[in-house]
Amino acid sequence: MDSEAFILIGGSSTRFGSDKAFFVFEGETLAGRSAAVVREAHPGGVVRFIAASEVQFGGRIEGLVEEIGGELVFDRSPGRGAWSGLDTALSASKAEWTLVLACDLAFVTAHLLSRLMTACRGDVDAAVPRQEDGRLQPLCAVYRTQGVLPLLERQVVEGGRMPPLHSLFQQVRTTVIDAGPGELRNINTPADLD
């Protein structure tokens, strides 16, 4: 499968109180933990990290990415949230398929990512997991790069009010798979890791 992987590390982390990418959980940073899972599911591939801007991390992000091993890409439209992070990932991707994972999804497994990549066949534009509450998780998904990028660019460039990112799946051909219990728990506060 012709694919590249991107990890989103540039959220504002307002409820968390500090940059989630640097938070150490079970002996590794959330960014490093995400990179390890992606590498297990996507062996041999380059892992890239999408950060909002150099200012957000005060110049520390380069050191973290170097330590983890990967490449750093800065958000093309800071302040536009997850839409812009996803747009930046697909814009930077040179592959047919783009795997995207938010670093605050700390319980995602390589097995889930492998299942998503396997689901990318035929006329599908995206493979996305369904959470236990029934919602789709667009920040742990695989996208057909050129099939989805124009929609993202249009939304980000047009501006205005940003709809929920999962509304994207109403516009593209999507395969949905069920995630395992707890796999898609989002880390919004340090207490969520207890």
pLDDT of residue 145: 97
- pLDDT, one tens digit per residue, over 162-179 is 889 999 999 999 999 999
Domain annotation for the chain: domains and CATH numbers? 3-193 (3.90.550.10)
DSSP letter (8 states) at residue 180: P
**Running DSSP on this structure, what letter comes out for residue 177?**
E
- In a 13 Å sphere around the CA of 57, the CA atoms on its Cβ side amount to 23
Question: Model confidence over 8-61: pLDDT tens digits?
Answer: 997 555 555 457 888 888 899 999 999 999 999 998 888 999 987 665 566 677
**Residue-wise over 84-115: b if at least 16 C-beta within 10 A, else e?**
bbbbbbbbbbebebbbbbbbbbbbbeeebbeb
Model-level pTM?
A: 0.91
Position 142 scores a pLDDT of: 98
| DSSP-assigned states of every residue in 141-170 | EEEEHHHHHHHHHHHHHH-SSPPPGGGGGG
Alpha carbons 32 and 100: distance in angstroms, whole number: 15
Angle value at C-alpha 192, between 75 and 109, nearest 5 degrees: 65
